[in-house]
Chains A and B, each alone.
Chain A
Amino acid sequence: MRVGIIGAGGIGTVHANCYKNIPDAKVVAVADIIPERSKKLADIFGVDPYDNAEDVIKRKDIDVIDVCVPTYLHSEFVIKAASAKKHVLCEKPMALTYEDGLKMIEAASKNDVKFMIAHVLRFFPEYIKAREIINSGSIGLPKVVRTYRGGPNPAIVREWYGYHDKSGGSIQDSLIHDIDFLTWTFGPVREVYTRGNVFKRKEPFDPEYDLVMMEFENGIIAHLVSDWSGNQRTQFGAKIEIAGTDGLVEFTSFNSIPLKLNLFEENKGKAESVSIPESPLSPDIEPYTREIREFLESVEKDSQIPVPAHDALYALKVALTCIESMRVNKPLEVKL
């Protein structure tokens, strides 16, 4: 399977490192408008860097395009790649608008290519385990769910995240992980209500903090925190707690870090201690590797992709409704 990566920023780098552990996949091209970035990733594979994504999409010898560009460019490049008969893996969130998402699905189906949105949370071993526990019946029927996702404001490192018309903000960009996981696990949402500061923020680097309440069609209620209020020193983390009629299960990334490295570093003549947490996993279960591997397998075998595109579109719809609820300050039903 021959792969071209479009976008060599944060997630592009994560994906590139995954391909090293997927023997059946070969990265043959990397594109980024910033030449240093595309060169850095292309060098990993000893391939040519491109500064124009369309030159990669054009190549006849490529089967799969991995779209890792910022959100506001997703629909454009997915549609271009699909039209060039390439299978497409695209970073979450699917698109900025529901209509764009629909067009992407249409383009993929018209050209008969596989198209998956990289909702990687579905491949995180702790979230897989959460579903196993629910299905085992150990906690009875799930009833009340709490999630947290947050850490440093990503706009500090990549400014585009701070612009609502480019990233969609923390709900669309980050909370969508939890939204997709919950809708995958508990089914459709009846109503959402959000309080947050999206519409009060002035500068792209201003912190964003949103609290969402959700009611599912089956009566489960959920509280979701989307937190971009941290600075560069804030540790990123996620939590999920599911309380049921017979018990409770919780997974907290902060409490499950197996390795903590503390290095003494000289900083302007002052000795400082830098703490580096790590949670290593083998490529067998490392979520990004597994996600890409399973997507490529579905391309290879022409089988159902692991994250159906309509699921991603639904998660996008719920996220957009959460934001709209904040704007109008009203609980809103999720209507397709």
Chain B
Amino acid sequence: MKIGILSCDHMHAESYVESLKRIEKVEIAGIAEENEKKGKDFAQRHGIKYFRNYEDILSDKSVDAVVICSANAKHAKMTIDSARAQKHVIVEKPIATTIEDAQNMIDACRENKVKLMVSFPVRYAPPVRRMKEIINEGKLGEIIGISATNHGTMPGGWFTDKTLSGGGAIIDHTVHVVDILRWTFKSEVKEVYAKMGTLIHDIPVEDCGLISMKFKNEIFATLDASWSRPKSFPTWGDVTFEIAGTKGSMSVDAFAQHGIMYSDRIQYSKYVYWGDDMDYLMLKDFVKCIEDDLQEPVTGKDGLEALRVALMAYESVKKGKVIKS
């Protein structure tokens, strides 16, 4: 199977390409990136071919699928163009910056009979899969509420340009946790209340966000989506869940499988993660769903619903009240 990378705006492209290399039978068509310096460096770093225009990858009949890692606002056009060129798509999260774009992407992929998967790798972290299993087995009884975090460091670059990103910390970090909760409970979010602000960094988008939500099944959850980890923090951030149920409780730290390193060469301490590579597990599943013609493990609709919650959070902040869907 031949897979091309469209853009490396998003840093996840780095680990996706390395993961793809490890998957048997996958051949990498190359990286298409309009920023020539960035694209050529990327191509050189990973030993793959460079294209300036992504159309050159799409016009290659031997390419089966693409991984889209452009800035959020560019996902829609690239996805629709790829679908029309009969390429299966996995697109970086959030699926898009508007519901309309997301819906157009879903429609285009459906009409052209190609797969559309949204990149939610956290679903592939074994601790998170195990968490879902424990909850679905009913071990905790009825779930009451969840306190979750998806912290990060401030990524800078286009992430702070609203026209390209659609927003700051909230749009960047709400979708993962919302996706995990929707997937686990098979229920949609019906109410959102949010607080946000540009409180830590001097940037044009919000760097802090707290979201309180309620699902149709009455479970409530909060999420801290802030880019509040300092540059000196020992890792990129976290994904955690504290879950209270009627028969017990559970705490999950998706990336706790790490050691710690202190090195005089970098002058600060650093976590050394040794758990599973969730990007690799996700891309393996993407390849499998194409090969065996299965339903996408994460659908465009999953991406759209997660985006909807982030947008509800922005609306809540704007109006200063609880938003109901």
Residues of A within 8 A of B (CB): 125-126, 128-130, 133, 137-140, 246-252, 255-264, 273, 278-282, 284-285
* B127 lies within 8 A of A259 (CB): yes
Which residue on chain A has the smallest CB distance to residue B243?
A: A261
Enumerate chain A residues within 8 angstroms of B251, measured Cβ to Cβ: 259-260
What's the least CB distance linking A80 to chain B, in Å?
Answer: 38
What's the least CB distance linking A77 to chain B, in Å?
Answer: 34
- With most chain A CB atoms within 10 A of its CB, the pick from B252, B256, B272 is B272
Q: How far is the CA of A280 from the CA of B278 in the complex (A)?
A: 13
Indicate whether A264 sits within 8 Å of B272 (C-beta atoms), given known contacts A247-B261, A258-B253, A281-B126: no
Taking CB atoms and an 8 Å cut-off, the chain B residues in 87-145 that contact chain A are: 126-127, 129-131, 134, 139-140
Indicate whether A125 sits within 8 Å of B274 (C-beta atoms), given known contacts A248-B262, A263-B248: yes
Q: How far is the CA of A263 from the CA of B135 in the complex (A)?
A: 12
Q: How far is the CA of A279 from the CA of B266 in the complex (A)?
A: 29
Indicate whether A139 sits within 8 Å of B261 (C-beta atoms), given known contacts A284-B276, A284-B281: yes
Indicate whether A279 sits within 8 Å of B257 (C-beta atoms), given known contacts A125-B275, A251-B274, A285-B276: yes
Whether a CB of chain A sits under 8 angstroms from the CB of B2 is no
Enumerate chain B residues within 8 angstroms of A285, measured Cβ to Cβ: 275-276
* A247 lies within 8 A of B252 (CB): no
* B263 lies within 8 A of A247 (CB): yes
Q: How far is the CA of A278 from the CA of B251 in the complex (A)?
A: 11
Say which residue of B256, B257, B261 sits within 8 Å of A133 (CB atoms). B261
* B134 lies within 8 A of A252 (CB): no
Enumerate chain B residues within 8 angstroms of A251, measured Cβ to Cβ: 259, 272, 274
What's the least CB distance linking A6 to chain B, in Å?
Answer: 30
Enumerate chain A residues within 8 angstroms of B248, measured Cβ to Cβ: 261-264, 273
Whether a CB of chain A sits under 8 angstroms from the CB of B247 is yes
* A133 lies within 8 A of B272 (CB): yes
Enumerate chain B residues within 8 angstroms of A273, measured Cβ to Cβ: 248
* B272 lies within 8 A of A263 (CB): no
Q: How far is the CA of A140 from the CA of B261 in the complex (A)?
A: 12
Which residue on chain B has the smallest CB distance to residue A252?
A: B259
Q: How far is the CA of A125 from the CA of B258 in the complex (A)?
A: 10
Indicate whether A256 sits within 8 Å of B257 (C-beta atoms), given known contacts A138-B265, A139-B263: yes
* B254 lies within 8 A of A258 (CB): yes
Which residue on chain B has the smallest CB distance to residue A243?
A: B262
Q: How far is the CA of A8 from the CA of B183 in the complex (A)?
A: 38
Whether a CB of chain A sits under 8 angstroms from the CB of B235 is no
Say which residue of A130, A246, A259, A279 sits within 8 Å of B264 (CB atoms). A246
Total cross-chain contacts (CB, 8 A): 106
Say which residue of B140, B259, B261, B276 sits within 8 Å of A126 (CB atoms). B259
* A256 lies within 8 A of B259 (CB): yes
What's the least CB distance linking B263 to chain A, in Å?
Answer: 4
Q: How far is the CA of A138 from the CA of B250 in the complex (A)?
A: 36
* B130 lies within 8 A of A259 (CB): yes
* A129 lies within 8 A of B249 (CB): no
10 contacts between A and B (CB under 8 A): A128-B274, A247-B265, A250-B259, A251-B259, A256-B258, A258-B256, A260-B252, A263-B247, A278-B127, A280-B127
* B261 lies within 8 A of A249 (CB): yes
Enumerate chain B residues within 8 angstroms of A280, measured Cβ to Cβ: 126-127, 129-130
Whether a CB of chain A sits under 8 angstroms from the CB of B286 is no
Q: Which 9 A-B pairs rank lowest in CB-CB distance, beginning with the nearest?
A: A251-B259, A247-B263, A258-B127, A280-B126, A263-B248, A258-B256, A129-B274, A125-B274, A126-B274
Which residue on chain B has the smallest CB distance to residue A129?
A: B274
Whether a CB of chain A sits under 8 angstroms from the CB of B50 is no
* B252 lies within 8 A of A138 (CB): no
Q: How far is the CA of A247 from the CA of B269 in the complex (A)?
A: 10
Enumerate chain B residues within 8 angstroms of A248, measured Cβ to Cβ: 261-262
Which residue on chain B has the smallest CB distance to residue A138?
A: B263
Enumerate chain B residues within 8 angstroms of A137, measured Cβ to Cβ: 265
Q: How far is the CA of A246 from the CA of B267 in the complex (A)?
A: 10
What's the least CB distance linking A91 to chain B, in Å?
Answer: 24
Enumerate chain A residues within 8 angstroms of B266, measured Cβ to Cβ: 138
- With most chain A CB atoms within 10 A of its CB, the pick from B250, B274, B276 is B274
What's the least CB distance linking B51 to chain A, in Å?
Answer: 31
Enumerate chain B residues within 8 angstroms of A138, measured Cβ to Cβ: 261, 263, 265-266
* A256 lies within 8 A of B256 (CB): yes
* B262 lies within 8 A of A281 (CB): no
Whether a CB of chain A sits under 8 angstroms from the CB of B255 is yes
Enumerate chain A residues within 8 angstroms of B255, measured Cβ to Cβ: 258
* B265 lies within 8 A of A246 (CB): yes
Enumerate chain A residues within 8 angstroms of B131, measured Cβ to Cβ: 259
What's the least CB distance linking B148 to chain A, in Å?
Answer: 14
Enumerate chain B residues within 8 angstroms of A281, measured Cβ to Cβ: 126, 257, 275-276
Whether a CB of chain A sits under 8 angstroms from the CB of B260 is yes
Q: How far is the CA of A230 from the CA of B140 in the complex (A)?
A: 29
